[in-house]
Amino acid sequence: MLIGLARTSTLEQEAGLEAQRRALLAAGVGRLFEEQTSAVGPRPGLEQAIEWSREGDTLVVTDLSRISRSVPDFCRIQARLGQKGVEMRVLNLSLDTATPTGKLMLNLLASISQFEREMMLERQREGIAKAKAEKKYRGRAPTARAKTQQVKELAAAGMKKAAIAKELGIGVRSVFRILRPVIAANSRNIT
């Protein structure tokens, strides 16, 4: 069976997730797992896909960056799949680990992908350092802090934290961070 994995780094990348869904379904995946999280953090969709897979299955991704951002991580994922007898296919590269050449090419491309990411991060750090030196760097706008009052109002109205995050377009952790003092104050008042 073909098992698809679609991943975007943030919740705002809905169009990217939809494009991956279409490509994976067009490739014939029978089961699709999705996640909207960084490749370097916890990966619930990937974990579910690996757990669900059986010997003879193939895990399909649209792009190598959707499965991993580093060679060691890629090798760990590939080893876990290999232990279960599961192959991997990358659609945009037309590569499949079912062949020795496919395995070799995927490992080479994983190395190149990691190199590309490290170079991008290095350029980003250089740009930030230059902007700071020129006193032009302001950093990312604090979107969650600007919505503190709205978060508190929605929480007071009984809305769940995940729903608040989705409604306001901020992270669930930001909602927890904003509400932490409120929750602590309420627990002190109860006791």
Active site residues per annotation: 9
Q: What residue type is assigned to position 129 of the chain?
A: A
CA distance 191 to 188: 6
169: number of Cβ within 10 Å: 11
DSSP 91: G
Estimate the share of the chain in helix, then strand, then coil, as percent rounded to the nearest 5: 60, 10, 30
Residue 108 has phi, psi (to 5 degrees) of: -60, -45
Classify residue 180 by burial, with Cβ atoms within 10 Å: 0-12, 13-18, 19+. exposed
**Strand order through the sheet with 31-36:** 31-36, 2-8, 58-61, 87-90, 95-96
Number of residues that this document lists for the chain:
191
